[in-house]
Amino acid sequence: MTAKTSWQAVLLWLAASLVEAIVLARAAAWTERTLMASPFSPILLGAACGMAAAVLANYFGNVSPAVFQWGTILAALVCIAAVHVFFYLDYCEGFSRAFSAKDDSLVMKMVEHAQPVSFGEFMASGAQRQFGVLPGWLWWIVSGGLTIVACVALGTLMWRSNDQGLAVKPQADGS
């Protein structure tokens, strides 16, 4: 795009992209927790985040290529962080559900002061766990990198194809 960047459009696009990244992170956390966890999940998450950012950039218009790429990197980073936050919130919910379902008063008395671990402890525990042959912390780096690369690559590809008129655009109804 050679048009001058409208900062109002950029801020609206960036805000919408960050919201969609958080929504996609929630969907990804739920999917990985309940349906399947796959090594392809970060690529799919990044691709969805990048394509949504491209659609939003087209909708708001006047987003320069540099701003688009930095914005998609930011959206991917927010998405990655939000996935971890949602995993922690799911853990806390499961923790409280496990103890609230007990009908035995003696068990309830014993676990009365039990609390889920803090977010930092939860992340430290996850870093020590194995993901296949990789330790958790290394998988997080690989996973985050895949998410960012897929987000920027597919987002840029889709955004540029739309900019060059290759994407399908809605036509005005002549009636």
In this prediction, residue 132 carries a pLDDT of: 79
**Arithmetic mean of pLDDT over the chain:** 83
Query: What is the token pair recorded at 134?
Result: 């990789």
Report pLDDT for 175: 47
d(CA 82, CA 88): 10
Whether the predicted pLDDT of 163 surpasses 90: no
Q: What is the pLDDT of residue 8?
A: 86
CA dihedral 143, 149, 154, 160 (to 10 degrees): 160
Q: What is the pLDDT of residues 106-119, one digit of tens each?
A: 666 666 667 788 89
Length of the chain: 175
Judged against a pLDDT cut of 90, whether residue 15 lies above it is answered with yes
Structure tokens at 27: 């969907």
What is the pLDDT confidence band of residue 1, given thresholds at 50, 70 and 90? very low
The DSSP line for 119-154 is HHHHHHHHHHSEETTEEHHHHHHHHHHHHHHHHHHH
Amino acid 171: pLDDT: 52
Longest dimension (CA), the chain: 74
Q: In the prediction, which pLDDT does 25 show?
A: 95
Task: Give residue 82's identity as a one-letter amino acid code.
Answer: A
Q: Is the pLDDT of residue 153 over 90?
A: yes
CA–CA gap between residue 48 and residue 125 (Å, rounded): 28
- Say if residues 57 and 75 touch (Cβ distance below 8 Å): no
Lowest mean pLDDT among 46-50, 97-101, 158-162: 97-101
Q: Above 50 in pLDDT, residue 85? A: yes
Under the banding of pLDDT at 50, 70 and 90, the label for residue 87 is: very high
- In the chain, where the domains are located: 7-163
